[in-house]
Structure formats: C-alpha cells, structure tokens
Amino acid sequence: MSDAPILELADVVKRFGSRTILDGISLSVAPREIVCIVGPSGTGKSTLLRCVNGLEDIQGGEIRFEQTRVEARAKSIKAVRMRIGMIFQQFNLYPHLTALQNVMLAPVVVHGEDRKIVEERARALFEKVRLSPRINAYPAQLSGGEQQRVAIARALAANPHLLMFDEATSALDPETVGDVLAVMRDLAVEGRTMLVVTHEIRFAADVGTRMVFMDQGKIVEDANPREMLAHPKTERARQFFSSIRG
Ligand SMILES: Nc1ncnc2c1ncn2[C@@H]1O[C@H](COP(=O)(O)OP(=O)(O)OP(=O)(O)O)[C@@H](O)[C@H]1O
Ligand SMILES: [Mg+2]
C-alpha cells in the first residue's frame, strides 16, 4: 500500500518492574488495514493496545500515530486519544444513562459540541450498529451484545481514525457474538483502520487483511490471515492455532 502509515511502532519495549512484557515490537499499520492480533494469554496483546493510546508508558523504542509521537505523559496524548476509538471486553457504559445518552456524553460534555448535531450523528450511528429500536434503553435492559454495540457507537461518535478492539466479544453470550462481529465487519468494509485483538479466528480469516501472532512479548509471525492459518511458519503458531481450534 502506498499510503503513509497511520500507526508505526519501532522496537517498542514495555517493562513492568523487572519483567519485560513487550520485547521489541515493530509494526506499521496503513490506512484501511484490519490487523488482527492473536496469541496466548499473557503475551502482551492488551498491553500493546494500551501503549498505543498512551495508557502505559514505554521503556524503549517509539510509537507514532499520524506522525505524532505517542508519549503517555506528553500534552499531545489527548489529541492522540481523541483519534483512537477503544472497545474493551467490558463495555463500561454509564448505568444511569440511556444508550443514546451514553453515546452523546463525551461529544457534548467533554468536547462542547452542539447537542442537536451530536444527536443527529448518534442516531445515524445507532443505525450503523443496528440498534435504533433500543436507543432509549438503559444498559441493564440490554443484552451484552447490545451493550457492546452501544460501546462501539460511543467510540465512533468521536470520529476516530483508528479503532482498537480488545477481545470485544470474549465476555458475550455465544448467541450475541455474531451481531457484534457483523458490526465489526461492516466497519471493516467501510474502510476503517482497525487493530483487533481477538480469539475469533474465523473472523480474522474472513475480515482481517493481516494477522499478527504474538508470543512472550514478541511478534512471531505477521502475514495474511488465511496464509498464516494454512501454513504457520513456526511451531509456536502451529500449536496455538491447533489448541484454539480444539
Ligand atoms: N499493570 C501491570 N502491572 C504488572 N504487570 C502487568 C500489568 N498489566 C499487565 N501485566 C502483565 O503483563 C503480561 C501481559 O499482559 P496482557 O494483559 O498484555 O496479556 P494479554 O496477551 O492481553 O493476555 P490475555 O489474552 O489473557 O488478555 C501479563 O503477564 C500481565 O500479568
Ligand atoms: Mg488481553
């Protein structure tokens, strides 16, 4: 791809105390790429995403998002975070606000945008996540899959340039997983740039433009998802894929 990368990691090292969690991670993500990150538990996938939006500082290397150096303690980090939408396993919705109010809160209260304009945008986002009929429901009245789709709408409301998903479907009942994956697929098709930590290998194979296999703080393989699944180059990847396929 000829586009300049939206995100670049060069030899990133992250330590917690004396433990090295990210051990020289280099990764370049171009606009519209769907990079699926897979790998065993405790390998540093969540930590990687947290470093990208400056929730964790790093001890070595460099992270650049749209040409800005990502530094957890720098003033510029606010602007970086505004452009990165993050979707977690837990939805973290405000229980006392309706779905619509949850999506409108940050644009109106934090960024001071016009309420009418934000509401129009929010309603369009609820259509996108296929949740328009539930716009006035409170989180407790929604299924896990519906709550996660509200969380996706909330992330989209800030007009992010990069979406990061950290096991967005892992906490859901099996019957609602498909609805969330369908919305993620729509976002991929409309050309969003996405970094997706997931155990949904079929989703990665169908929707991912790239798959990154991490183990023990390192990127072990980085390839086309279908190619990696069919022909893993390392024994570690081979073992991992056979274990999650059952
Ligand atoms: N704040 C922290 N302080 C100390 N150690 C931490 C902290 N956060 C994460 N770790 C450690 O870093 C390692 C990587 O954790 P991380 O959550 O990034 O793994 P993961 O690949 O996302 O795993 P999982 O698939 O289970 O979500 C783990 O050993 C974890 O215990
Ligand atoms: Mg994790």
Listed by start position, the domains of the chain span 31-46+82-244
Give me the pLDDT at residue 28, please.
98
Residue of 13, 36, 41, 47 to mutate, ligand 1, most atoms within 8 A of C-beta? 47
CA-closest candidate to residue 143, choices 91, 203, 88, 182: 91
Give me the pLDDT at residue 230, please.
94
Give me the average pLDDT of each 10-residue run along the chain (246 residues). 86 97 98 97 97 96 96 93 95 97 95 95 97 97 97 96 97 93 97 96 95 98 96 96 80
The amino acid present at 225, given as its one-letter code, is: P
Give me the pLDDT at residue 4, please.
92
Cα Dmax for the chain? 55
- The ligand whose atoms approach the alpha carbon of 45 most closely is 1
CATH of domain 31-46+82-244: 3.40.50.300
Q: CA-CA distance, 165 to 149, in Å (whole number)? A: 12
Question: What 3-state DSSP class applies to 66?
Answer: coil
Structure tokens at 74: 């720098």
Residue 112: Cβ-neighbour burial (10 angstroms; 0-12, 13-18, 19+):
exposed
Give me the pLDDT at residue 73, please.
92
User: Where does ligand 1 bind, in terms of residues with CB under 6 Å?
Assistant: 16, 21, 41-47
Residues with CB under 5 A from ligand 2 (ion): 46
Q: What is the DSSP letter of 4?
A: P
pTM of the prediction?
A: 0.95
Neighbours of 134 (CB within 10 A): 20
Structure tokens at 228: 């990696």
Give me the pLDDT at residue 244, please.
83
